[in-house]
Amino acid sequence: MKVILYMGTTPNGYIAKENGDSEWVSDEDLNGFYEESKKAKNIILGKNTFLEASRQGYFPFPGAVNIVVTHQTFENKWGRDVVFTDKKPKEILSMVEEMGFDTALLAGGGMLNASFAQEGLIDEIYLDIEPLLFGKGIRLFGETDFACELELIEAKNLNKNTVQLHYKVV
Ligand SMILES: NC(=O)c1ccc[n+]([C@@H]2O[C@H](COP(=O)([O-])OP(=O)(O)OC[C@H]3O[C@@H](n4cnc5c(N)ncnc54)[C@H](OP(=O)(O)O)[C@@H]3O)[C@@H](O)[C@H]2O)c1
């Protein structure tokens, strides 16, 4: 099972403003995410990301099973393409494998990313670096401490001001 993390971020590592706003990511970032989600056919997202994507009208993401990780109970209005689970990261990956997929796409936010990173479960990372700075907000991996080394697979421009870094986790 390969686990890919795909995130739009500021150069200083924020994925959302303090109020949860991440609407500043570029269309190219969104399109890149959609492409990866259609390839993997599944995405895993934390509750806050689910709520924010619902608020913005992006939920559920099309062409993929949307797996929302939460301890809360939500009514599933969408059917079998949406799954709510309170499983732990490794159990979620087993579930994704049982669904018949060989790749899992992590879609944030920071807390969910951190829980997978802490267990060394992430294999590849796409970071779309957006041309915007702010000093407070939600970080790529929340406030959680962990460390890993990266190998650069590719760096490319997505548009004039957005750079995509594609890493392998060593
Ligand atoms: N820029 C981007 O590309 C991008 C992408 C995605 C998200 N975002 C932004 O990120 C923000 C949300 O990030 P966030 O860090 O606040 O929250 P999050 O990771 O989306 O959600 C965290 C919540 O998910 C639940 N959860 C259950 N199991 C978990 C586990 N193993 N690990 C982590 N969380 C688990 C917990 O809620 P319960 O209490 O229900 O268990 C937890 O409070 C949003 O504002 C969104 O817009 C940005």
Ligand 1 site: residues with CB under 6 angstroms? 7-8, 15-16, 20, 22, 25, 46-49, 52, 69-72, 89, 107-112, 115, 138, 142
What pLDDT digit, counting tens, does each position of 30-68 carry? 999 999 999 999 999 999 999 999 998 989 999 999 999
Domain with 141 in it: 2-169
Total tally of structural domains belonging to the chain: 1
The confidence band for 7, taking pLDDT boundaries of 50, 70 and 90, is: very high
Q: Give the pLDDT confidence score for residue 98 in this predicted structure.
A: 98
b/e per residue 60-95 (b: at least 16 CB within 10 A)? bbeebbbbbbbeeeeeeeeeebbbbeeeebeebbeb
**What CATH number does the domain containing 122 carry?**
3.40.430.10
Residue 163 near residue 156, CB atoms below 8 Å: yes
